[in-house]
Amino acid sequence: MALTEANKRQQCTVITIDGPAGAGKSTVAKELAKRLGFAYLDTGAMYRALTLKALRQKINLENEKQLVDLAHQTLINITTDDKKSLKVVLDAEDVTEPIRSLEVTQSTFYVARIAGVREVMVQRQREIGTKNNIVIEGRDTGTVVFPHATRKFYLDADSKERAQRRIKELKEKGKQVDELTIARDLEERDTKDITRAVGPLKKAEDAIFIDSTGLSIGQVVGKMLEYI
């Protein structure tokens, strides 16, 4: 995907964090953005919001053309308050909660693997990152969205710990969880994200690898701040 001149001359500070599901990217990215006074962008929330709309409209998730058209016709607005609480607005509706459902989580891959959909999303992500100092997290933010980012991180953790973190997070939200399903779901999502043809989950060559196994959020953020 071609970078425009404006993107190449990116004047704002951009920090990218990529990694597999449950590695702690969102929590760490929010905290880092708060400490630096930067904006925070959760790119996964954009793919989730579009997936929610596709599911509601009963679009066949194998129908690439319809999904690309849908991406062009959809407004997704992601905002955060001072505390970096995320609000995701799909067209005019607040979908912060519904985009986290199991159905959306398991279906997002089908929407996110389509080149035309990614083109629309990546362009929007670049527009945000060229106007604000930003911490942006996802799967391809250091490889595709901002290959010239100021600092890139790749955050990973032991798969058992990642599953446990996700289970804890869901339980804290009062959700019923089947631990085996969660663990299997994380594993399947990672495999699909790593092996897809467009914008796969991959460590950028110049990204700093951080293994967050056994580390607290504060410790991971502290490490990142040292590099920044």
Residues binding ligand C5P (CB under 6 A): 21, 43-44, 47-48, 108-109, 112, 138-141, 189, 193, 199
Give least dist CB 101 to ligand C5P, A: 12
Nearer to ligand C5P, 41 or 224 (CB): 41
Alpha helices in 154-195 (DSSP H): 159-172, 179-195
Amino acid at 100: R
What is the maximal distance between C-alpha atoms in the chain? Answer: 48
C-beta of residue 28 within 8 angstroms of C-beta of residue 221:
yes
Residues in the chain: 228
Give least dist CB 62 to ligand C5P, A: 16
Structure tokens at 67: 């999904």
> 3-class DSSP state for residue 170?
helix
Structure tokens at 75: 């407004």
Beta strands in 11-157 (DSSP E): 14-18, 39-42, 76-80, 86-90, 93-94, 134-138, 151-156
DSSP letters along 187-198, please?
HHHHHHHHH-SS
C-beta of residue 46 within 8 angstroms of C-beta of residue 184:
no
Give least dist CB 112 to ligand C5P, A: 3
Nearer to ligand C5P, 53 or 139 (CB): 139
d(CA 13, CA 195): 30
Give least dist CB 45 to ligand C5P, A: 6
* Strands of 76-80's sheet in order across: 76-80, 86-90, 93-94
Give least dist CB 72 to ligand C5P, A: 18
Give least dist CB 113 to ligand C5P, A: 7
